[in-house]
Amino acid sequence: MKHLLTVILSILALVAVVTGCGGAHRYDARLVRTDSLMRPDPDSALAIVQAVDRDSLTSDGDRAYRDLLLTQARYRCYVPATSDSDINRALAYYRAHSGEREKLTRALIYKGTVMDELGHPDSAMLYYKQAEATAAPDDYFNLGYSKMRIATLYQDQLSQDSSTITRLKQAIKCFEMVNDTNYLISCYGHLGGIYGVNLPDSTEYCLTRAIELAQAYKPTKQYTYKSKLAGLYYYHYKDYMRSKELAMDVFINGRQFSHENQFYYYAALSYIRLGLIDSALFVFKSSPLPTCTVDSMNYYRLSAELAAVLNSGDSAIYKAKAEKAQRVLTETSLKPNLVIADLTSDHQREGAKLKKQGRLHIVIVICIMLLLTISILFIISAIVRKRISSYQQLLDGARSDIESMVKDTEQKLSELEEQRLDLKNTLEQKDKELSEISKRNTALESQRDDLNKQVTNVIRDRLAILNEIYYNIRVKTNIGTRKGKRMLPLIALIKELNENKQTAHLILKESFWEKLKKSVDDEYHGLATFVERKYPELSTKDYRLFLLSCADISTQIIKLCLDFSSAVTVSNYKRRLIKEKIGIDVKFDEFINLYLDNKLE
């Protein structure tokens, strides 16, 4: 019985080794670096992964990893998705390789983001739910991110689900485990928006928490949540003074950073309730025209309030328009497909669980049959051992013969050892020859380094010529209107760049940037100094991109001056500079015209 137990334990150990073996795939170093830069510097991550040729990668794992990172980097750099072919390849690979659980979770998440951008929120919901179910319990970031994406998808589609609050609370716990303040702010803000006036104390706590975290981590993010908090104080607590203070803080200090315009509405209404009609009119006239259904509804409600206070007679008309906008908003909030997709995902998960349990039962039955078979074999082997003992004497007689054979074998091994020593001497001679070849290679590499230094000097001289061309740049204006386009005489520079395709970037001295700043100030009445003083949070790269754009420098030249990865990246960065970092949702030329018209404070 002791031997039987030993056999059974050996078999189980062998099964464990077979099922558990398998080394981790060693990925291409460029892809690993891209992954490490994804969260702190997504622009650099996108540049690196785009530079990696997919066909140059030698393994399916590296190609799938590149497809995943490319999709992720595009999403984080606000590059709109036009196809799901890349993420589909990555998802197919990771579904077939169970050892890549974290990357499978990420592939499911970004498949969901692509489907959402392509206009299929119900499909996005299915993939987010799969990611939530696939994530490991200790994979806190991906687990929290998938839960947050499900919750925000409901909010983006103006719908609601009973589990949304639960998921956001779970996401907060996950992001606290990894100390991710950025997504903690978003989760608290979304949670406060869901609670609304139905749970005012919870709403106030969540929005206040989001504001506190934003003030310590990224101050510009606090104004969106201050606007929401102003609405809570207005509608629930009827504290018009506090609502006005919050809304006016956003109006004065943070309207360029807020993605919503409701603070105009709360500020003006609070002034009306406080009897300060002139202040209410000032805020109303300062508010931008509505661009979405929610803004239209608030705009007409405020217009109706002002008309009623001023006795203009148009109050009923504005109320009717506000009610119409509210009906449109209510109709668009009915999104049953999301709930259907959510329930479908749960149903599929339960089916997979039952299927897995069925497979487990089959495995248990097979193991029992295997143990019974082993027991029978063990009994048979015991009978055979008894018979073998009768032949032991014959084996003892044969042992002497085997010992003589061993002696002969040892003699042959001695001869083989002599042959091995001869081969060793031959290999040592070859190693000497290889050493001589290595010395020659070292000499050739030294010559190659000298050639590289010469090439570097030539390129430096060409860059010096380009710098001299830049020093003579002057801003010219078209004769006609004050708002005519500005340009720089770059014909000679562009010709030089076209002839020298190996020039990767331009090294410009500080004197060039000072001259360019003075030229922009001269032509735009102090615009460069205004932006430098008004938006100190802009980085040096942001400010230089603004100066080059004012001078109407092409995106190709800007790419060389500021070391961008591509001209497309320059265009995307330029749009985000005005909309997100400066905080005004207008085009670049419109921003200049606003300044020239004295519409910027």
Better-predicted residue by pLDDT, 3 or 198: 198
The predicted pLDDT at position 229 comes to: 85
At what angle are helices 101-117 and 60-76 packed, to 10 degrees?
Answer: 40
Question: Percentage of residues in the chain with pLDDT exceeding 90?
Answer: 21
CA atoms of 590 and 597, how far apart (whole Å): 10
Question: CA-CA distance, 323 to 317, in Å (whole number)?
Answer: 10
Between CA 408 and CA 414 the distance in angstroms is: 10
Tokens of 562: 């500021």
Span 132-141, mean pLDDT?
92
Cβ contact 547:517 at 8 Å: yes
Give all strands (DSSP E) within 478-537, no chain letters.
486-487
Strands 476-477 and 486-487: antiparallel
Decide if 127 contacts 111 (C-beta within 8 A): yes
Tell me how far apart the alpha carbons of residues 213 and 188 are, in angstroms, rounded to a whole number.
10
pLDDT tens, 237-279?
889 899 889 888 888 888 887 777 787 888 888 888 888 888 8
- Which residue pairs from 8-12 have beta carbons closer than 8 angstroms and sit at least 24 positions apart in sequence? 8/371, 8/374, 11/370, 11/374
Amino acid identity, position 580: E
Structure tokens at 149: 């994406």
Mean pLDDT of 206-220: 87
- Report the alpha-carbon distance of residue 125 to residue 276 in Å, rounded: 47
Say which residues have a Cβ less than 8 Å from residue 513's Cβ, sequence separation at least 6: 544, 547
CA atoms of 42 and 207, how far apart (whole Å): 28
CB 270 within 8 A of CB 241: yes
Mean pLDDT of 392-414: 82
Helix (H) and strand (E) counts for the chain?
A: 26, 2
| Structural Rg of the chain based on CA atoms | 36
Q: Residue 166: its pLDDT value, please?
A: 86
**DSSP structure string for 321-374:** HHHHHHHHHHHHT--HHHHHHHHHHHHHHHHHHHHHHHHHHHHHHHHHHHHHHH
Q: Where are the beta strands (DSSP E) in 13-104?
A: none
Nearest one of 440, 463, 460, 442 to 452, comparing CA atoms: 460
DSSP-based three-state secondary structure for 309: helix
Confidence bin at 347 (pLDDT 50/70/90): low
Point out the least confidently predicted range of 10-14, 288-292, 318-322.
10-14
The predicted model gives 561-573 an average pLDDT of: 89
User: Can you give the pLDDT at residue 17?
Assistant: 41
Residue 473 has what pLDDT?
47
CB 496 within 8 A of CB 465: yes
What contacts 314, CB < 8 A, 6 or more positions away?
A: 303, 304, 307
Q: pLDDT of 36-53, one tens digit each?
A: 999 889 999 999 999 999
Tell me what percent of the residues of the chain surpass a pLDDT of 70.
79
Do 112 and 124 form a contact (C-beta atoms < 8 A)?
Answer: yes
Average pLDDT value for residue range 558-582: 88
Phi-psi region of 500 (alpha: psi -120 to 50; beta: other; left: phi over 0): beta
**CA gap 460, 554 in Å, rounded:** 23
Mean pLDDT score of the chain, rounded to an integer? 80
Report d(CA 591, CA 548) in Å as an integer.
Answer: 15
| 223, pLDDT greater than 80 | yes
At residue 362's C-alpha, the angle toward residues 357 and 365, to 5°, is: 125
CB 121 within 8 Å of CB 148: no
CATH topology of domain 28-134: 1.25.40
CA dist 255 and 264 (Å) reads 9
pLDDT for 7 beyond 70: no
Cβ-based neighbours of 545, under 8 Å, separated by 6 or more:
558, 562, 570, 573, 574, 577
- Specify whether the CB–CB gap between 4 and 38 falls below 8 A: no
The total number of residues shown for the chain amounts to 601
pLDDT the model gives residue 50: 93
